[in-house]
Amino acid sequence: MSLLWLRFALGCYFISLIYAFFALTRTSDLFSRIALHAASLGMVFHFVSLVELFLSGQVVWASVHNGESLLAFFSMTFFMIVYAIYQTTSPGVVVFPIVFFLTFVAAVDQQPVLLTQYVSHKGWLVAHIILIFTGYAALVLSFGASLLYLLQERRLKSKKPTSLISFLPALEVIDQIGYRSLLLGFPFMTLGLLTGTILAATTYGHVDFLDPVFLLSLLMWAVYMLMVFTRWNSGWRGRRAAVLATFAFFAAIVAWAANYFSAIHRFAAS
Amino acid sequence: MRFQLIGVNHKSAPVEVRERLAIPESRLPDACRELAAYPGIEEGMVISTCNRVEVVTHTANGHADLRGFLHEHFRLTAADLDEHLYEFREKDAVRHIFRVASSLDSMVVGEAQILGQVKEAYATARAVGAVRGQLDQLFSRAFAVAKRVRTETSVGSSSVSIASVAVELAKKIFGSLEGKTVFIVGAGKMSELAARHLMAHGCASIFVSNRTYERAIGLAEKFNGQAIRFDDLYATCDRADIVITSTGSPHAIFRREHGEQFLARRKNRPMFFIDIAVPRDVSPDMAKLDGIFAYDIDDLQQAVSSHVADRRKEAELAEAIIASEVERFEARLHTLDVVPTIVSLQDHLETIRQAEIDRARGRMGQLTAEQEIALEALTRGIINKVMHTPITTLKTAAKESEATTIVEVVRRLFNLHNKEAPQPAKKHEEETRD
């Protein structure tokens, strides 16, 4: 049943996805309102799906697919927070496709890759997953903002009066969205990785430092920290910040994809 | 009507070309003198603003080598310049001048500044004696037309201007302008206007720097701002978010290394440069830096052009006024063309009449007072009747294209060629001025 709700959510996110593609070439208030309502409705279905999964007594936290669904929901929540503060749907250009993709993968009816079947410290596991996914969602938004910053910067530098991407908010607003997401996400990501390491250590009795997930997560965290530091220390924006954000984002994707190959999240099977 | 005009403007030439042609105010009188002394030119005037450099002349035969003048004056080759030039003659030149003065040819259609700039150019040329008869009439009429366009259309009423475009762009960069700092470099009217707009939209503080420190103080006081000595410009400039620069410097005053310093000191927070100087104050190198957004006068024009559509309708109305005014001016000039012929004809016949009366007196002896009056009335009556048709024909023909032919025929018939044509009556000149 939870899968059905998730598919309803996917349908709504699809409308938002269309908006994301069209918003780059034309501006329409009506369309952005429709996309916003579709995304909100999608979130409701999504929430119901997650709650049902939790109540069903199945191990919600166990599968990669459920994790992806949770991450999509968190990313959408961040998007809505940004919308509430800045009244702009433009980060949707980046967030909507990512959310759609994650929900799509989660909603595909196939045997999910199991992360774990049994964990002795369930509280730690829940904390780990929520923290790390909040960090991921913030990273998604920060990545989106840095891309939008580049777009807006290019538009202003090209000096051509065009309605193309004129829906973008002011450069400094985009910058604030990105920076605040970054600052908010970093402690979550750090704590998420720490809890994960502790969890692995307590379950296994040791941590496999050469595991691809561990290495890639560490790399992602290092880039994340570099982003925060360069921004705080020398105010890196624009192209350089976008390069770092892109790098961190892809490191995150690869770290996540490594779940399909790594053993670290299957400790319960051992 | 032997008007001839050549020039470049913001549409025909990029700022790189215009800045090479710009003539500073101090050198304008010499340029006018040089122009008026150029072969084939009777009167001449130079208009040099940031958006246009134009040479307006009244020529001896309608075919002066104005390109040659430009090549010589600016020491440029035909390859450098000619592709950017436009040239108008006679009626087209009149129309162009009317359009320029009425701000229909401006970067921001309807902006009021151009009329003042043309008036200044006219005053300069007049002061050195380069503008006398025909150009005098042309520009007097152009100012009247500009006034008519302004009062009869709302082409100048919309708020679209460099200043409002600058505010819009600043908002695209900074979002809200609350608490932002503005720096005016070079105290000009246009930068003052832009600063006023920015302050009205929430900018908090203002710095003013000018080579003449006293002018900086004067302008800073107007805004409750702070005057900065020109030597301290680079040390303080990074404190501003928005810099409006319009100095008369022949070289860029903001170069890449300055931009890098500013950004380092500002921790890469963006800076917006509104460069309304020609030649430009911000080097293109610096404008490429991440975090530096520099808009020169041409870029602002592009930004403005999207607003111009709103004014198109009013501009069409203004164009109709211009068209009718060009016709009126042409007709008036033609009337002025026939006036000397009419006066010559009257003089000629009066001379004949006087000679004939003297001869009659010789033959008839002493005449009584009544006879004198009768003779005077008789001869004057004949002359007036004879003159009536030719004068009416001349005046009617003046409004048409064949005026020159008819004038020529009359002058030949009455042998008026050898007589010096008197200047048109003063009142005709007065009529052309509103």
The encoded tokens of residue A137 equal 């969602």
Give Cβ neighbours of residue A206 (< 8 Å, ≥ 6 apart): none
pLDDT of A160: 67
CA torsion sign, A89 to A91 to A97 to A100? Answer: negative
Nearest to B173 among A160, A171, A239 (CB): A171
Q: Does pLDDT of A184 surpass 80?
A: yes
Interface of A with B (CB under 8 A): 152-153, 156-157, 159-161, 169-173, 234-240
Q: Is B50 a known active-site residue?
A: yes
Residue with the two structure tokens 């969890």: A199
Round to whole Å and give the CA distance between B188 and B212: 12
Among A126-130, A255-259, B191-195, whose mean pLDDT is lowest? A255-259
What average pLDDT does this structure show over A140-161? Answer: 83
Q: Based on the domain organization, do B42 and B77 belong to the same domain? A: yes
Q: Which amino acid is at B36?
A: A
Q: Based on the domain organization, do B67 and B95 belong to the same domain? A: yes
Q: Based on the domain organization, do B146 and B237 belong to the same domain? A: no
Round to whole Å and give the CA distance between B8 and B15: 10
What is the CATH classification number for the domain harbouring B64?
Answer: 3.30.460.30
Residue with the two structure tokens 């809890």: A195
Determine, yes or no, domain membership for B97. Answer: yes
- Of residues B175, B268, B164, B274, the one with CA closest to residue A171: B175
Q: Does pLDDT of A207 surpass 90?
A: no
* B 257-286 near A (Cβ less than 8 A): 264, 266-270
DSSP H or E stretch at residue B7: strand B3-9
Nearest to A170 among B174, B268, B306 (CB): B174
Chain B residue whose CA is closest to A86:
B175
Q: Which domain holds residue B172?
A: 162-305
Among B156, B184, B212, the domain boundary falls at B156
Angstroms from A214 CA to nearest CA on chain B? 34
- Of residues A184, A204, A17, the one with CA closest to residue A121: A204
Q: A55 versus B358: which is more confidently predicted?
A: B358
Q: Based on the domain organization, do B152 and B193 belong to the same domain? A: no
B172/A240 touch (CB, cutoff 8 Å), yes or no:
no
Q: Does pLDDT of A111 surpass 70?
A: no
Under the banding of pLDDT at 50, 70 and 90, the label for residue A263 is low
- For residue A161, which residues of chain B lie inside 8 Å, CB to CB? 302-303, 305-306
What average pLDDT does this structure show over B132-136? Answer: 86
What is this structure's pTM?
0.58
Q: Based on the domain organization, do B124 and B246 belong to the same domain? A: no
- For residue B6, the SS3 value is strand
B270/A171 touch (CB, cutoff 8 Å), yes or no:
yes
The encoded tokens of residue B230 equal 């020109």
Q: How many CB atoms lie within 10 A of CB B113?
A: 18
Supply the ipTM of this predicted assembly: 0.76
Q: B15 versus B310: which is more confidently predicted?
A: B15
* φ, ψ of residue B228 in degrees (nearest 5): -120, 135
- For residue B173, which residues of chain A lie inside 8 Å, CB to CB? 156, 170-172
Q: How many CB atoms lie within 10 A of CB A266?
A: 14
What is the number of domains present in chain A? 1
- For residue B291, which residues of chain A lie inside 8 Å, CB to CB? 237-238
> What value does the mean pLDDT of chain B take?
85
Give Cβ neighbours of residue B291 (< 8 Å, ≥ 6 apart): A237, A238, B263, B266, B268, B269, B270, B271
Single out the catalytic residue among B32, B50, B203, B237. Answer: B50
Q: Based on the domain organization, do B14 and B145 belong to the same domain? A: yes
Among B156, B187, B203, the domain boundary falls at B156
